[in-house]
Homo-oligomer: A and B are copies of this chain.
Amino acid sequence: MIGAEGYGRGMADPNRIWTAALIVIGDEILSGRTQDRNVAQIATWLNVQGIRLREVRVVADDSGAIVEAVNTLRARNDYLFTTGGIGPTHDDITVDAIADALGVGVVVHDDARAMLAGYYDTRGGLTEARLRMARVPEGASLIENRMSGAPGIRHGNIFIMAGVPHITAGMLEALTGRLEGGLPLLSATLGCWVAESEIADLLGDVERAHDGCQIGSYPFFREGRVGANFVVRSTDAERLDACMAALGEGLARGGWPPVPGGI
C-alpha cells in the first residue's frame, strides 16, 4: 500500500540498497535510566523488509535537537523512523518538533481522535491530555497501534513510533510488508575458541576474496577462555555460503575447529 502512495521509484533495481535512519528521542535513554531496546528491534525488522538501518541518533526531549536530526536524516535515507515522545505528557514533544522540521502545522487527526475516544470510552473518557495523542503534523496518516489507544504517525518517509518497545513492536507488525525495500541482508555465523588477533589476517583475506560479503568479528571472554563469533553478511545466498565455507576451512586448517551457528 505504501508503495502505491509514492515510494515506488520506477523499474526496480534488484541491487539498489534501501536505507533507513532511526532517531531515538528521550532523556531517559541519555540519562542511562532506560536501556534502549528499539535500535535492535527496528534493525532486525528492517533487515527482513530489505532495508538497512544505516544510522541512529539518540537525542534529548529538545525541539532543536529533534529538528536538526530529522532534517539531516530524512534527506539522506529512504526512510526515517523515530521512537519516543508521542504520549500525553508535557515531555512528549515529538509531533510538534517534527512538524517544525517539516514546516507544517499540527492538527488533530479525525481518525486518531475516534480511535482514542473508543479506547478511552471505558477508561475514564477522552480528556484534553489524551486528545494530545491525536495531534499529528498536517498531512500525516496513521500507523495502527494494536497494543494501546494512540496510533503511530506517518508523514512522507517519516514513521513516528512509540517509545515503549512492545507498542513499537505492534506498530512494526502493522507495517510489515508495506514498505518498498531491496534484497534482505542475509547473515550466517561461525564461532571459534580463538583470539581474534590470531586470525585477523585470515578474516581480511577471506573477505577480500568474496565480493559482496562482509565479515564482522565479535570477540568474547567466557568460561575463562577467549573466543569470537564471525558473522558473514551478504544479500546473495550463494556468495554467503562460499564465504562461510572458506572461513570455516581456514579456521580448521589453522587448528581452530569452527562451531556452526556461533558460540
Residues of A whose CB lies within 8 Å of any CB of B are 24, 26-37, 39-47, 52-61, 65, 87-91, 120, 123-124, 127-130, 132-133, 148, 164, 166, 185, 187, 195-198, 200-201, 203-204, 207, 214-221, 231, 233
Residue from B56, B59, B221 in contact with A30 in the complex, judged by beta carbons closer than 8 Å: B56
List 21 A-B pairs, Cβ < 8 Å.
Answer: A29-B40, A31-B43, A31-B53, A31-B185, A31-B231, A32-B40, A32-B41, A32-B43, A32-B53, A36-B36, A55-B57, A55-B59, A56-B58, A57-B58, A89-B204, A90-B207, A90-B215, A123-B195, A129-B200, A132-B200, A164-B220
Contact B31 A87 (CB under 8 A): no
Q: Min CB distance, A167 to chain B, in Å? A: 9
Contact B219 A87 (CB under 8 A): yes
**B-side contacts of A166, CB under 8 Å:** 221
Contact B196 A87 (CB under 8 A): yes
Q: How far is the CA of A89 from the CA of B222 in the complex (A)?
A: 20
Q: Min CB distance, A229 to chain B, in Å? A: 9
**B-side contacts of A133, CB under 8 Å:** 197
CB-nearest residue of chain B relative to A44? B32
**B-side contacts of A26, CB under 8 Å:** 216
9 A-B pairs with least C-beta separation: A32-B43, A129-B200, A32-B44, A90-B204, A56-B58, A88-B197, A89-B217, A130-B197, A89-B200
**B-side contacts of A219, CB under 8 Å:** 87, 164
Contact B31 A187 (CB under 8 A): yes
Q: How far is the CA of A52 from the CA of B132 in the complex (A)?
A: 30
Q: How far is the CA of A88 from the CA of B120 in the complex (A)?
A: 56
**B-side contacts of A164, CB under 8 Å:** 219-221
Q: How far is the CA of A200 from the CA of B120 in the complex (A)?
A: 15
Q: How far is the CA of A128 from the CA of B252 in the complex (A)?
A: 21
Q: How far is the CA of A33 from the CA of B41 in the complex (A)?
A: 10
**B-side contacts of A231, CB under 8 Å:** 28, 31, 33
Q: How far is the CA of A130 from the CA of B200 in the complex (A)?
A: 9
Q: How far is the CA of A220 from the CA of B47 in the complex (A)?
A: 28
CB-nearest residue of chain B relative to A30? B53
Q: How far is the CA of A39 from the CA of B34 in the complex (A)?
A: 10
Residue from B60, B91, B203, B217 in contact with A54 in the complex, judged by beta carbons closer than 8 Å: B60
Contact A87 B217 (CB under 8 A): yes
Q: Min CB distance, A235 to chain B, in Å? A: 13
